[in-house]
Structure 1
């Protein structure tokens, strides 16, 4: 084979590898929105049919946006290329002129995962009042209005000052306690939401061992553990998680569910999911104790 033939061969291989790469695209369904308005963010992925991808769920931090709902669609595969898409409905409560959002998509390999991010999409803040007229128009009114009585500004200033001093003292005395109560209640709410969803998915997985359900159960558990411990559970393999938590039973539980995800084998997952839930419950209790001890030492 001549030099030209070798060159064409390498060029063809290069184009083939590019065609098989993972392509992620994200965009808002509108370019601007008012405060609190419901806006859709479309996340699309094109990837080889043999690749396993996982979209982010409600445990992902969408700040400064607030996630309202996630809507998924059936995958479409043609000529070895799969197309997946989902719509995330969010609201913006930030006062910045623009907010930006880029979402990750996780490629699941046998022992680890690869993260791809979509392009950064912009959502502009839409003001309700577009413009102020140059000349104000007043309505004529010849009805006499009663005069207000003289206001005692000195008394009002004293009362206001006294209230400010009392509020300031209250804040100094109880600010740490109020902050700790807020943090504890927030963790309790997050735990209730996680536990309810995890039990529901675990029950469905026990009844119908399916790849997508097993994938969602593990992703939900890792997302909660990552949020409460600040450790990269989404990036770690099952063995790395087991070593970090010094618990070999976690590896066995995750391994049993991995058999459904990667090997396509049906397995009794109820015992594994129950153990993972207890691990999460233990970390949740440790978080509450840490908040309580933190308040006591300050």
Structure 2
């Protein structure tokens, strides 16, 4: 009896569902959703396009699957959507999905679900299933696989890696800048001292050669060359245009130093007065005094640079 009562209850509910009006259902807009591949076959890993198309009334809102949806057995590569077009009261939405597959099934199908939003309700709309055939390029696989012992290599053109070189240049610049910030003053001082020592040794050698030539030849030309060489060296050492000074200006610049004053007077008298002593001892002594004076100026400037560096 209990079972008979349940059957009657179900029949009554069914009748109510059949004849009870549902206004919200009657007001649902007409809508069609379809999805299909643009080709009927695809190779492994090859891209293929799938079109999802919806036609509906303008008041309906249809949402297509986004990139987070499931497209198995395919993988989503790109999604291209197009604006809604409405012609004669019919709106058309379309989206093209670029897919690829790495599944070995001979026939692979896809079915997507769109969503309809209407009057605060959501309705899922599923497309008919569409399939593609996988092109089998390898029909048989030999077991075990044979490996080639030698392969002809193809030449690959060399390419300049601008990014790595740019990063290397930046790193080198930072390293050099850091080293220079830490040791730049010391390196600069050592270089200046090296240049001073090199110029002094070169001057002494050339001045000694000019002095010996004067002693052998006893010519005013050799004496004048020795004086010019001495003035040019002091010009570079003092960083002052000594070679353009007169004898009086040079003596004044060096605070009336007796060695400079006496030596230049002897040399000027010999050069401009065309007078050389018989044994040339006076001129030779003057040249020796000038050589000693230049050596003392070198020592003075060298020690000055060292003291300035150590005081910092």
Q: Highest CA radius of gyration, 1 or 2?
A: 2
Q: If the length of structure 2 is used for normalisation, what is the TM-score?
A: 0.43
- Give the number of the structure with larger relative contact order, counting CA–CA contacts within 8 Å between residues 6 or more apart: 1
Q: If the length of structure 1 is used for normalisation, what is the TM-score?
A: 0.45
